[in-house]
Structure 1
Amino acid sequence: MLFSFVAAMGFLLVNVVDPYAGAVASPTFNAADRFAGQDAQTFVVSGVVQAASVKRDSYSVKEPPPPPPPPKASTSHSSGGISLPNVVPNPGSAQAYAHTQVLARGWSEQDFSCLVALWNQESGWRVNAMNTSMGSSPSTAPYGIPQAYPGGKMASAGADWATNPRTQINWGLGYIAARGTPCSIWNSYGGSY
C-alpha cells in the first residue's frame, strides 16, 4: 500500500516539478535547433483581397400527380348495404390465386371483394394464422387463411395444408361454396363479426 502511494505521488510530482528546469537555467544549456535555421512557418499575404463569389443552385418542386379515382363497385350481388371496395390483388399473391379461383367458380368481382373482407377478418390472409384460444396446434385450432376449425380438416384438400396458401384457399372456397357465395356468407354476419 505504501509503495503504491509513493509511486503515484512520484508520477504526480514529476509533472509539477520539471526535471530539466535546472538545466535551462544553466549558462551552458542550448536549446536544440528544430528547424535548421529556417522559419517554422511562413505565410504570405498579398495586398489585394478578393471577395469570394457565392452562387446558389436552384431547385423546383413538382406536385405529385393526383391518385386515380377508385373504380366503381359492381352491383351484381348485394352486399347488404355495406360498401366493399373493389380489390385488385398483387400478382403472384395468395389473393391473386383466390381471385382466379373465385372467377373460375362463376362468382363475381363483388364476391371476391366479399371474400377479401371475410378473410381479412379471419386471418389477414396469413397462411399460418392460428387461434390459440381454441386449440394448441394447427391440427386442433382454427388455422390458416380460411380459419378452418380444426385446421386438420384442410388435409382433405392436400397434404401441404399447413403451409400452402393454394391448398388452404381451395379448401376454403369449397367450404364457402357448400354454404353459398362469399357475399352471402359475409351478409349472414351483417358485414362484420
Structure 2
Amino acid sequence: MNVPTISKLNRLTKVQKYSAAGVAAAGAGVLAITGVSGTAGTAVASQQVADWTPATTVQQKSLTGQADTAKKKAAADASAAKKKHRAHVAAEAKRKHRAHVASAEASRKHRAHVASAEASRKHRAHVAAAEATRKHRLHVAAEAAKRKKQAAASRSEQRKALTKSTRSAATPKKTTTVVTSGTPQQIAASMMNSTQFQCFSNIVSHESTWNYTATNASSGAYGLVQALPGSKMASAGADWRTNPATQIKWGLGYMNERYGSPCAAWSFWQAHNWY
C-alpha cells in the first residue's frame, strides 16, 4: 500500500486527510485483529481496507456536500447582505432626496411669501399715497373754489356799493329843460354831473371822437358810443341815426345799467380797451 508523503499530505484537503487517516487506521486494526504479519498480513489488510472503501467514499461525499452547502449558504448570506446594503443605501438616498426636495419647497414657499408680503406692502403704500394725493387735490380745489367765491362776493359787494354811490351822481341834472340842441358835449353835460360827464366824455372821445355818425367799418358799430348794432339805440328814439341827444341818452342808460355809472364804465374800458 502506498502511503502519501508529508509534502503530498499537506496538499490534501481536510476531507481527504480525514479519509486517508481512516484508511490507515482501518488497516492497522485489521492487522491487529487477524494477528497476521508480513506479506500475508499485508494482503489480508489490503483486502479488508478494500472491503471498507465504499463506506469511506460515502463519508467523503457527505463531508464534501456539507462543505458545498456551507459555501453556498455563505455565498447566499453574502449576497443577501449585499442586497440588503444596497437597499439601505437606496432608501437613504431617497430619504435624503425627499428631505432636499422638502427643504427646497419650503425655501421656495418662504421666498414667495416674502415677495407677496413685500408686494402687498408696496401696494398699500401706493394706495395710501394716491389717496393722500387725491385728498390734497380736493383740498386745494376746495380752497380755490372758496377763495373764488369770496372774491366774487367781494366784487359783487363792491359793485353794489359803487352802483349805489354813483347812481345818484349819474342822475341827470334837474333842470327845467334838458338841452337838446348845441354840441353833443353840451347835450351830454346837461344830462349828468361834471364828474360823470368827464368819464363819459373819455369813453366817447376814444370810441367816436364825438362824431355821432361815426361807423366802424369792421364791426358796424355806430354813433357816439359805438352801439353794436347801432339799431339798439332805437329804444331811446327813432331818430338814433341823426340825433346826438338820442345816442347820448341810450349810451348813459347802457353805462348805468351794465356798470353802475359812466366812471365805472370808464374804469373797465381802461383795463380792456372796450366796454
TM-score, reference length from structure 1: 0.45
Q: RCO (CA 8 Å, sep 6+): is it higher in 1 or 2?
A: 1
TM-score, reference length from structure 2: 0.32
User: Which structure shows the higher helix fraction?
Assistant: 2
Which of structures 1 and 2 has the bigger CA Rg? 2
